[in-house]
Amino acid sequence: MTDLKDILHEDDGIKNDDLLRYLEGNASDEERFAIEKQMADSDFINDAVEGLQGFQDKQKMQQYAAQLKLQLRKQTSKDRKRKLRRNLNSQQWTMVTIVTIILLCVLAYWVIRLYQHKV
């Protein structure tokens, strides 16, 4: 999800501008038919249109969308930082484990070698 400008997936086949024209009643008959067909096929689009119809003021709707995008960016950046920190911690313990095993192997070799020379 590299593009956070448009929450609708490209495979949904509907653009924000088309959706806004539909909600304002400025869409052509073909666009209106296409959007209504997609609403019938997709519960996500149907819910989006129903939710957006509750906004009377276009400016408030855009402000709300901008606020949601900002919250989404903050949340995803926090999740990335947590994952990175978790990966570094797991790598650190992996390295400690590997070094410990190597040291135990060297110590065992040294003890066996020492025991063989005494006998």
Sequence-distant (6+) residues with CB within 8 A of 12 are 38, 42, 44, 45
Residues 28-41 have a mean pLDDT of: 86
Average pLDDT over residues 88-110: 89
Percent of the chain with pLDDT over 90: 15
Give the span between the Cα atoms of 67 and 81, in whole angstroms.
21
pTM of the predicted model, to two decimals? 0.43
10 Å CB burial of residue 35 (0-12, 13-18, 19+) is buried
Q: What pLDDT does 58 receive?
A: 72
Under 8 Å between Cβ of 8 and 14: yes
Given a cut of 90, whether residue 23 has pLDDT beyond it is no
